[in-house]
Structure 1
Amino acid sequence: MLTVLGLTMITVFTYFIMSGRLSSFTALTVIPLIFAIIGGFASEVDDMMIDGIKLVATSAAFLLFALLFFGIMIDAGMFDPLINKILKVVKGDPLKVAIGTGVLTLLVSLDGDGTTTFMIVISSMLPLYKKLNMNPLVLATISMLSFSVVCGLTPWGGPGIRALSVLGLEQTDFFIPLIPTLIGGAIWVIFVSFILGKMERKRLGIIDLKESHIAEYAFSLDVAANEESSIKRPKMLWVNLILTLLVMGVLISDLVKPAILFLIAVVIAMFINYPTIEQQKDRIKAHGGNALMVLLVVFAGGAFTGILSGTKMIDSIAANLVSILPESWGHFFPVIIGLVSIPFTFVMSNDAFYFGVVPIFANTASAFGIEPIEIVRAVVLSQSAHFLLPLVPATILLTGMLKLNISEYVRFAFKWSVLTCLVLISLAWLTGAIMT
């Protein structure tokens, strides 16, 4: 009975999310509440939801402060010199332009927000692509792959924070074993950029841009930059860079709890870059909307998981799943889950997958003696498949800014997306991040 009720709840939840009939926040709250009442848990459901919210509270705090910190670093212009350097180096060579796109996106993606990342990268690189007559699908594919690697494998990215929060796991336990995979994934993305750039160089040749064209392009970038010059802090470049490296070092060394680390980092970043109260209010307003929407979903997801766990639906589903899987498959379960996640993340929203399906995978893994954290690492490796989904807001923005037909984008990027998933799964397996 509990298995049927739980699977029906997840199916209904997924339908309303995917059809767009309900927002993630609403669906995560209302649908499990209704099914808990149907299952006879009306008197206990509030305690279950509170327990779930408590479980995600630390992760939500970490996410809020991490998003604010990297948002402030981008506002202050920490990446601007690198962006300018990349744009000057690539000049008229399509191969260099493609590689520059990959490097730029990998760095800007530390912000963790797809919308912001794609706006910065597309705004910076599209004029150059047009000037060289390069295929905008190359720009879209490289940007998507680069962002999916960083977003998926960092603990402040959407996938990781969702899975970690609903399972109550530590960010450092997730992130540190994935660092070799993250580095390898970045190298893979640069390699793909090299291949796509070489194809474009073969098609177009190296174009000798006249100095006037380069100057004109540089001027257009300067004009765009001047529009936001009031929030740029070029004199604080090295201070911000040292602060960021210090924060990342402490995060990796696990000396301070991640939520507290980024809380302190945000306060320091605010104070040294925007010392007045009005300036700080403006920066919080600028990033608060995005952070609030993510936090609403995380807290509602906690309530959803609280009901799923409190009613024992998840235990019942996991027990049935274990009973139908051959025992010999148990050791390979993380790799299997990594492969299964490719189609799952393609057809499902992150909220539906990470809040509804991943807890079942984690409970099932426990029956095989596998730690839930390995499952979390496995499921985030397929994010490049997710960003093919036309329902993802960042994907809609990406294709919209480039004026691409979504079907041609999917056809062009599909092969590279699946290959990236397989490469990341292989790297995670070889480095012991999964199947330790």
Structure 2
Amino acid sequence: MLAVLGFATLGSFMLLVMRKHLSAFTAIMLTPIVAALIAGKGTQLGDMIMNGLDTVASTAALLLFAVLYFGLMMEAKLFDPISALIIRASKGDPVRIVVGTAVLSLLVALDGDGTTSYMIVCSAFLPIYRRLGMNPLILATLAAMALGTISGTTPWGGAATRGISALHLDAGEYFVHMIGPMALTSLAIVAVAYWLGLRERHKIDGEKLAAYKLEIASGEAIPTVKADWRMWFNAALTLLLMVLLILEVADLVVLFMVAFAVALLVNVRSIADQQELIKRQAANAVPVMMLVLAAGIFTGIMTDAGMIKAMADAALAIVPDGWGTMVPLFTALLALPLGFFMSNDAYWFGVVPVLAESAGHYGIHANEIARAGAIGQILHSMGPTSAPLWVLLGLVKADLGDFQKTALRWGVPVSLAYIAFAVMTGAITVV
């Protein structure tokens, strides 16, 4: 009963959002509440909601200050040199622009933080997409796939870190076998980018494209970079922030709060101007916080009501007794829908240990289950419980339904390719 109700809740949420019957904020809150009432757990709703909010409160605070920090950096034109370099290299060719989007997305995803990655990619490429009339959902799709592939696989990226800690694994043993499939999947993302770039090249008006290329050649379309002491300070502060983030010197929210306070003091000296900047950036930050908190409610109800566990158990029950050696492959396939709808905490700490225990009965090491589970991160980066996604959607000014219609078209086949690469390279075994 709970499994059926859980799948029905997920399906209803997707339908309501994609058909635009409800906004993402209302749908992600109301669908699990209705499901809990149907399951007869109405008296527990308050506790379930609070438990869900507890799990995302620090994430919401982190996103608030990350958006404020990078918003300030964008206003200070910190990323203009990167944009200028990319514009010169692209020479106005949509194929080069889209492939460049994929390459930069893959590189910046190495830092492990989704919000940072999306901010950097959007600051570098979004003005170019808008100038040429290219579809910004292409940028969002490539950025999400890159984040799910790189940050979702590396031991310092957050998702795999949960699996390593939950299953008590050695990070090196886990990761060394994933380097090959991760690299091959990255090439697949670049290939998708090349194809999407070709499509955009044919869609763009020829005269507009020719005019843009002339503007690049003349230098008119290239941002003017004024490298004063504040730009050097901002660059050093951002680099220091990234280093401290990777080294995990302190909680991310603490790092971003302190960095924002320092950056605000250096770049905006007047108190009145500081307040105005915060008001401007709050327009981007508050909707993100609302959606993250709503996603926490979704996860809290689905988990505490038992729907998530029931869905996982129902999926495991499908595996025939004689197919025990196929558990890693089945885990990888199961990771796609579960990763899409579930928070990483609920997935890695609730579902993956159950799968690892089942695999252990067939002599399969937990490393393979962790690797298989990481493959689902591509679709997780496109799902409603991925907090950085709401930042990305705010930057490209798109709603969840429109984004998922475009992103899933490519995210699903790339995820399946990731599974195939993992099997081919022996990262997960099927015999």
Q: The TM-score by the shorter chain falls in which range?
A: 0.5 to 0.7
2:128 to 121, 124, 128: 124
User: Relative to 1, partners in 2 of residues 1:51 and 1:190: Cα closer, same or farther, differing over 3 Å?
Assistant: closer
| Alignment partner, residue 237 of structure 1 | 231
- Give, as a single letter, the amino acid of the residue that structure 2 aligns with 1:365: V
Aligned to 1:32: 32
> How far off is 1:336 after superposition?
2.4
CA shift, 1:284, in A, is 2.4
1:397 and 1:256 mapped to 2: Cα distance? 27
| Counterpart residue number, 2:311 | 317
Which position in structure 1 is the counterpart of 2:353? Answer: 366
Q: Say whether residues 1:9 and 2:9 are aligned partners.
A: yes
Displacement of 1:153 after TM fit? 5.7
| CA gap 1:20/1:218 in 2 versus in 1, 3 angstroms | same
Question: Is the contact made by 1:337 and 1:361 (CA closer than 8 Å) also made in structure 2?
Answer: no
- In the alignment, the residues of structure 1 paired with residue 274 and residue 85 of structure 2 have an alpha-carbon distance, to the nearest angstrom, of 29
Residues 79-98 of structure 1, C-alpha deviation per residue, up to 9 Å, x if partnerless? 11122233334447787666
Unaligned 5+ segments in structure 1 are: 131-135, 202-208, 387-391, 401-405
Aligned to 1:283: 277
Instruction: Return the offset for 1:359.
Output: 4.7
* Cα 1:217–1:197 shift into 2, 3 Å: farther
The whole-number CA distance in structure 1 between the counterparts of 2:60 and 2:397 is 30
TM-score scaled to structure 2, two decimals? 0.65
- Between 1:277-286 and 1:48-57, the stretch displaced more is 277-286
Q: 1:286 to 1:221 in 2, by over 3 A?
A: farther
Deviation at 1:190, TM superposition (A): 5.7
1:50 paired with 2:44, answer no
Q: Percent identity?
A: 27
Unmatched tracts of structure 2, length 5 or more: 202-209, 358-365, 384-389
Distance 1:82 1:214 in 2: 18
Q: Deviations over 1:134-185 (max 9, x none)?
A: xx68x975x35542245446879xxxx9989xx9x99xx99x9699688887
Per-residue deviation at 1:53? 0.7
For 1:43 and 1:294, how far apart are their aligned partners in 2?
29
Contact 2:98 2:194 in 1 (8 A): yes
Superposition map of 1:253-268 within 5 A: 253-268=247-262
Return the match for 1:331 from 292, 310, 328: 328
Conserved? CA contact 1:105–1:121, under 8 Å:
no
User: AA paired with 1:87?
Assistant: I
The whole-number CA distance in structure 1 between the counterparts of 2:291 and 2:159 is 12
CA gap of 1:122–1:312, structure 2 versus 1, over 3 A, is closer
Q: Aligned letter for 1:148?
A: A
Deviations 1:91-131 (A, max 9, x none): 4778766655555666899756979955862533676x79x
State whether residues 146 and 186 of structure 1, in contact with CA within 8 Å, keep that contact through their aligned partners in structure 2. no
Distance 1:432 1:70 in 2: 40
Note if contact 2:73-2:234 (Cα within 8 Å) is conserved in structure 1.
yes
Q: What amino acid sits opposite 1:67 in the alignment? A: V
Q: TM-score, normalised by structure 1?
A: 0.65
Alpha-carbon distance in 1 for matches of 2:25, 2:137 = 29
How far apart in 1 are the matches of 2:95 and 2:55? 47
Q: Is the 8 A contact 2:41 2:305 kept in 1?
A: yes
Is the 1:385–1:421 contact (alpha carbons within 8 Å) kept by the matching residues of 2?
A: no
CA distance in 2, matches of 1:434, 1:258: 32
Q: Which amino acid aligns with 1:247?
A: L
Q: How far apart are the structure 1 equivalents of 2:266 and 2:424?
A: 42
Shift of 1:306: 1.9
Is 1:148 matched up with 2:154?
no
Change (3 A) 1:154 1:21: farther
CA contact (8 A) 2:215 2:221 kept: no
Query: CA 1:272 to 1:84, structure 2 compared with 1: closer, same or farther past 3 Å?
Result: same
Judge conservation of contact 1:67–1:291 (CA < 8 Å) in 2: yes
> One-letter code of the match for 2:144?
S
1:395–1:299 Cα change, 3 Å = closer
Provide the rounded CA distance (Å) in 2 between the counterparts of 1:28 and 1:334: 26
TM-fit CA distance, 1:192: 6.5
Count of residue pairs brought into register by the alignment: 382
Comparing 425-434 with 55-64, which one deviates more in the overlay?
A: 425-434
Q: Secondary structure, in 3 states, of the residue corresponding to 2:42?
A: coil
RMSD: 5.3
Quote the Cα distance in structure 2 between the aligned partners of 1:384 and 1:292. Answer: 20
CA contact (8 A) 1:145 1:384 kept: no
Deviations 1:308-330 (A, max 9, x none): 22222322232222222243333
* Cα distance in 2, alignment partners of residues 238 and 398 from structure 1: 27
Secondary structure in structure 2 of the residue aligned to 1:302 = helix
Partners of 1:11 and 1:418 lie apart in 2 by 17
After TM superposition, give the deviation of residue 259 of structure 1 in Å.
1.9
How many Å separate the matches in 2 of 1:314 and 1:297?
20
Name the counterpart of 2:363. Answer: none
**Does 102-111 or 78-87 show the bigger shift?**
102-111
User: What is the Cα deviation at residue 286 of structure 1?
Assistant: 2.8
The separation in 1 between residues aligned to 2:200 and 2:45, in whole angstroms, is 58
Alignment of 1:291-310 (within 5 A): 291-310=285-304
Contact 2:299 2:342 (C-alpha < 8 Å) held by counterparts: no
Task: Measure, in 1, the Cα distance between the counterparts of 2:264 and 2:373.
Answer: 32
Q: Are 1:99 and 1:197, in contact at CA under 8 Å, matched by a contact in 2? A: yes
Supply the AA of the counterpart residue of 1:147. A
